[in-house]
């Protein structure tokens, strides 16, 4: 048995006449690492997350959680292991920040949802590490977009998953919130959580991920350390844009050329 | 810990304990007043005396008998039905995540109405119907209608919300058309049937209170136990599933319980509109969304609102009774519009 959340040769039909949303994709995330999935629009990044949360069934291949097929898990069992921060998460009005974060405890509660002291601690901890404690009692609809994204992240932390999936967590955020969010994600990985994030911004991806997987047309084009994956030739071919790749220490920096 | 300056009002909620105790006191006060008022008015002390005697099973004198055997069951039934409809409305609005959802949305009322009208218009020529009585037949038809709606809305293993509402509206209007047909055909009984359809507590008895409570109390406990699941559903079906909720099963359970209790309410008191729509709405505006807070308060307010509405219904043009559904709509409609204007849109 191997620890990790992974896809093994997974294909998904797109439903649009023959083309495949995912084409024999094999990639995974191990506990403690941050893996970034990058690629142009329509590359299959979101489909990949939907397979990993079992919202879509692969037409071929298998998704494994620590070596066990996802299909063997109940919804509840899966929710204890895998949390997702969706791209545009629904944040219903009329709940306080603390109440939204507390929803993350749902998979760990009994049938009638009684909170124990351990649950309270998990909620407090999740708010502390995402710096949301200061507005714990405010209604979520009164928060800014960046604050709201943190609250949704806090809910996923409160879920205490083994694997944390993030779908473009930094889009619509300004630099400060982007950096904060990726910092929280790295902190989760440091605490032993496997973090997989779908991300558009190549520079942020290169800076914050241990490994990158570059997706195009539903297939993995390159996989490995950011410096290996983000080669000028590969990036230009996949994104159809002219770029220079500079170096900031180990980290590649993509600069578009006009 | 300091909380940053808050630009919008109503961030900090009223304390639940305070709201709950105030609501209980208000409900009891309204009930005592409602028992006391009528063609012969009695004060709170006499109401209490009659209640004590009634509960002890002492022999009752004329006035005590009116109070204990007529007014008390009527007021209690109104309270239980009001609480049940408000609870069912809260569940429907929660499951459908739509403030315009109400307990009759998936055909309960039209089915029950058809059943009752069937008994009233054909009871004379079909003795079996008459023997079963309007409440029981209404209840049965409510369940048949909802089962039909669920069956039609099913797609694979799931019941998608949009299909459910569509099926509910279509099946509902079929039964409503049937009701209208019977109503026109019934001619001389039409006025009586219509007044049943609009709801009322004129036929209350302790027996009916018991029947209603049999459904309402377990329903309240069950729904209350799943308050957290209702909260999770506010994240959308996928969001709730990602937190481990078996969405389809929970949806069916909650809607099933809400429908049963609605059918019971319709069968003892007719189709009383608006309570299941505006009471949950008002409670949500006052208390926010978490259902552990929302459900008990909505039930208490529903009870108080219905007792008041029934009091108005029998007092405004006494001795003639206005159907209570007319009162709830007349009071509830403007109130709803006021909420809408004040907030700039339903929450």
Is B206 inside any structural domain? yes
> What is the Cα–Cα distance from B211 to B265, expressed in whole angstroms?
10
> What is the Cα–Cα distance from B240 to B201, expressed in whole angstroms?
40
Residues of A in contact with B239 (CB under 8 A): 86, 89-90
Grade residue A190 by pLDDT with cuts at 50, 70 and 90.
very high
The residue-averaged pLDDT of A125-135 equals 93
Grade residue A17 by pLDDT with cuts at 50, 70 and 90.
low
Give how far A255 is from chain B: nearest CA, Å. 37
Identify the closest residue of chain A to B237 by CA–CA distance: A90
Whether A142 contacts chain B with CB within 8 A: yes
Say yes or no for a CB contact (<8 Å) between B234 and A89. no
Question: What pLDDT was estimated at residue B9?
Answer: 43
Q: Which of B290, B82, B37 is nearest to B201 (CA)?
A: B82
Residues of A in contact with B8 (CB under 8 A): 142
Is B137 inside any structural domain? yes
**Mean pLDDT over all residues of chain A?**
90
Say yes or no for a CB contact (<8 Å) between B290 and A95. yes
Is B217 inside any structural domain? yes
Is B26 inside any structural domain? no
Helix/strand/coil for B309: helix
State the best of A51, A86, A93, A103 to mutate against chain B, taking most chain B CBs within 10 Å.
A103
Better-predicted residue by pLDDT, B200 or B301: B301
Is B19 inside any structural domain? no
Grade residue B347 by pLDDT with cuts at 50, 70 and 90.
very low
Say yes or no for a CB contact (<8 Å) between B6 and A142. yes
Residues of B in contact with A126 (CB under 8 A): none
Is B1 inside any structural domain? no
Structure token pair of residue A237: 């071919």
Q: Which residues of B touch A (CB under 8 A)?
A: 1-4, 6-8, 11-13, 97, 225-229, 231-232, 234-236, 238-239, 241-246, 284, 288-290, 347
- Reported ipTM: 0.90
User: Is the distance from CB of A23 to CB of A11 less than 8 angstroms?
Assistant: yes
Say yes or no for a CB contact (<8 Å) between A104 and B6. no
Say yes or no for a CB contact (<8 Å) between A75 and B244. yes
Q: Which of B273, B277, B229 is nearest to B252 (CA)?
A: B229
State the best of B14, B16, B243, B285 to mutate against chain A, taking most chain A CBs within 10 Å.
B243
Q: Which of A118, A171, A109 is nearest to A145 (CA)?
A: A171
Report pLDDT digits (tens) over A164-182.
999 998 888 889 889 999 9
Q: How many CB pairs under 8 A join A and B?
A: 86
Question: What pLDDT was estimated at residue B6?
Answer: 41
Is B71 inside any structural domain? yes
Question: What pLDDT was estimated at residue A94?
Answer: 86
The residue-averaged pLDDT of B32-49 equals 82
Helix/strand/coil for A248: strand
Residues of A in contact with B97 (CB under 8 A): 92
Whether A225 contacts chain B with CB within 8 A: no
Say if residue A79's pLDDT is above 50: yes
Which residues lie below 8 Å from residue B43, measured CB to CB, with a gap of 6+? B36
User: Is the distance from CB of A152 to CB of A95 less than 8 angstroms?
Assistant: no
Grade residue B1 by pLDDT with cuts at 50, 70 and 90.
very low
Say yes or no for a CB contact (<8 Å) between B11 and A76. no
% helix, strand, coil for chain B, step of 5: 75, 0, 25
Say if residue B89's pLDDT is above 80: yes
Identify the closest residue of chain A to B281 by CA–CA distance: A94
Structure token pair of residue A203: 């520079």
Structure token pair of residue A217: 């047309």
Question: What pLDDT was estimated at residue A125?
Answer: 95
Question: What pLDDT was estimated at residue B78?
Answer: 95
Nearest CB among B242, B244, B245 relative to A84 is that of B242
Say if residue A73's pLDDT is above 50: yes
Here the CATH number for the domain that contains residue B295 is: 1.10.3470.10
Pairing verdict, β A163-167 and A194-198: parallel
> What is the Cα–Cα distance from A184 to B33, expressed in whole angstroms?
59
> What is the Cα–Cα distance from B18 to A145, expressed in whole angstroms?
33
Question: What pLDDT was estimated at residue B7?
Answer: 43
Whether A113 contacts chain B with CB within 8 A: yes
CA separation (Å) from B151 to B146, B157, B167, B226, B333?
Answer: 8, 11, 9, 24, 33
The residue-averaged pLDDT of B283-292 equals 87
Report pLDDT digits (tens) over A27-64.
999 999 999 999 988 888 889 999 999 999 999 999 99
The residue-averaged pLDDT of B60-70 equals 78
State the best of B157, B232, B244, B281 to mutate against chain A, taking most chain A CBs within 10 Å.
B244
Question: What pLDDT was estimated at residue B10?
Answer: 46
Report pLDDT digits (tens) over B208-247.
899 889 889 999 999 988 999 999 999 988 899 999 999 9
Say if residue B3's pLDDT is above 50: no
Say if residue B202's pLDDT is above 70: yes
> What is the Cα–Cα distance from B291 to A95, expressed in whole angstroms?
10
Nearest CB among B3, B12, B228 relative to A106 is that of B228
Q: Is the pTM of this model over 0.95?
A: no
First-last CA distance in chain A: 49
> What is the Cα–Cα distance from B250 to A224, expressed in whole angstroms?
43
Say if residue A160's pLDDT is above 90: yes
Q: What one-character DSSP code corresponds to residue A96?
A: B
Say if residue B2's pLDDT is above 80: no
User: Is the distance from CB of B273 to CB of B104 less than 8 angstroms?
Assistant: yes
Is B263 inside any structural domain? yes
Say yes or no for a CB contact (<8 Å) between B228 and A107. no
Say yes or no for a CB contact (<8 Å) between A86 and B232. no
Nearest CB among B6, B228, B246 relative to A138 is that of B6
The residue-averaged pLDDT of B72-77 equals 92
> What is the Cα–Cα distance from B170 to B149, expressed in whole angstroms?
9
The residue-averaged pLDDT of B301-327 equals 90
Strands (E), chain B: none
Whether A198 contacts chain B with CB within 8 A: no
Question: What pLDDT was estimated at residue B42?
Answer: 81
The secondary structure of A3-43 as a DSSP string is -SEEEEEEEEE-SSTT-EEEEEEEEEE-TT-EEEEE-STTS
- Indicate the number of domains in chain B: 1
**Mean pLDDT over all residues of chain B?**
84
Whether A44 contacts chain B with CB within 8 A: no
Domain hosting B113: range is 40-344
User: Is the distance from CB of B76 to CB of B61 less than 8 angstroms?
Assistant: no
Residue with tokens 């109405």: B113
The secondary structure of B230-292 as a DSSP string is HHHHTT-HHHHHHTT--HHHHHHHHHHHHHHHHHHHHHHH----SHHHHHHHHHHHHH-S-HH
């Amino acid at each position: 048995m191997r620890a990790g959340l992974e896809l093994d040769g997974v294909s998904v039909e797109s439903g649009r006449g023959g083309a495949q949303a995912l084409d024999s994709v094999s990639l995974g995330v191990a506990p403690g690492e941050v893996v970034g999935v990058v690629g142009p629009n329509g590359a299959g990044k979101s489909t990949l997350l939907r397979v990993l949360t079992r919202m879509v069934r692969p037409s071929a291949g298998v998704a494994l959680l620590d070596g066990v097929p996802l299909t063997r898990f109940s919804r509840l069992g899966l929710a204890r292991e895998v949390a997702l921060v969706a791209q545009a998460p629904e944040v219903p009005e009329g709940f306080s920040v603390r109440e939204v974060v507390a929803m993350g405890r749902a998979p760990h509660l009994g049938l009638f949802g009684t909170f124990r002291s351990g649950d309270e601690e998990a909620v407090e901890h999740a708010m502390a590490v995402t710096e949301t404690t200061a507005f714990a009692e405010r209604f979520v609809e009164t928060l800014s977009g960046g604050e709201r994204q943190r609250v949704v992240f806090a809910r996923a932390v409160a879920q205490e998953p083994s694997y944390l999936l993030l779908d473009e967590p930094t889009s619509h955020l300004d630099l400060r919130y982007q950096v904060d969010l990726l910092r929280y994600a790295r902190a989760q990985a440091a605490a032993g959580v496997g973090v997989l994030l779908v991300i558009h911004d190549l520079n942020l991806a290169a800076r914050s991920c241990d490994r990158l997987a570059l997706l195009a047309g539903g297939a993995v084009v390159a996989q490995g350390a950011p410096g290996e994956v983000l080669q000028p030739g590969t990036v230009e071919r996949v994104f159809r844009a002219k770029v220079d790749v500079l170096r900031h220490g180990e980290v590649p920096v993509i600069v578009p050329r006009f | 810990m300091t909380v940053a300056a808050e630009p919008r009002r109503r961030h900090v909620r009223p304390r639940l304990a305070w709201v709950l105790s105030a609501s209980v006191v208000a409900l009891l006060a309204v009930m005592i007043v409602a028992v006391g008022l009528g063609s012969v008015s009695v004060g709170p002390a006499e109401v209490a005396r009659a209640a004590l005697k009634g509960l002890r099973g002492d022999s009752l004198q004329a006035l005590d008998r009116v109070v204990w055997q007529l007014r008390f069951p009527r007021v209690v039934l109104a309270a239980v039905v009001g609480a049940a409809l408000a609870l069912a409305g809260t569940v429907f609005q929660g499951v459908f995540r739509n403030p315009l959802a109400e307990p009759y949305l998936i055909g309960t009322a039209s089915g029950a109405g058809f059943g009752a009208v069937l008994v009233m218009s054909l009871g004379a020529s079909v003795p079996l119907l008459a023997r079963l009585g309007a409440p029981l037949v209404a209840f049965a038809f409510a369940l048949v209608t909802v089962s039909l709606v669920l069956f039609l809305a099913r797609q694979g293993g799931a019941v998608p919300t949009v299909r459910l509402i569509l099926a509910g509206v279509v099946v509902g209007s079929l039964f409503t058309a049937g009701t209208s047909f019977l109503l026109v055909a019934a001619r001389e009984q039409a006025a009586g049937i219509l007044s049943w359809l609009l709801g009322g507590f004129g036929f209350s008895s302790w027996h009916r209170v018991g029947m209603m409570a049999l459904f309402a109390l377990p329903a309240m406990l069950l729904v209350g136990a799943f308050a957290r699941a209702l909260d999770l559903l506010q994240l959308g079906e996928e969001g709730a599933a990602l937190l481990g909720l078996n969405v389809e099963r929970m949806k069916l359970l909650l809607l099933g319980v809400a429908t049963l209790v609605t059918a019971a309410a319709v069968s003892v008191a007719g189709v009383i509109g608006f309570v299941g729509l505006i009471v949950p709405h008002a409670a949500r505006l006052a208390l926010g969304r978490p259902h552990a807070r929302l459900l008990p308060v909505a039930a208490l307010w529903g009870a108080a609102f219905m007792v008041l509405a029934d009091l108005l219904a029998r007092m405004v043009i006494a001795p003639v009774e206005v159907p209570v559904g007319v009162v709830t709509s007349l009071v509830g409609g403007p109130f709803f519009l006021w909420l809408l204007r004040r907030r700039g849109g339903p929450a």
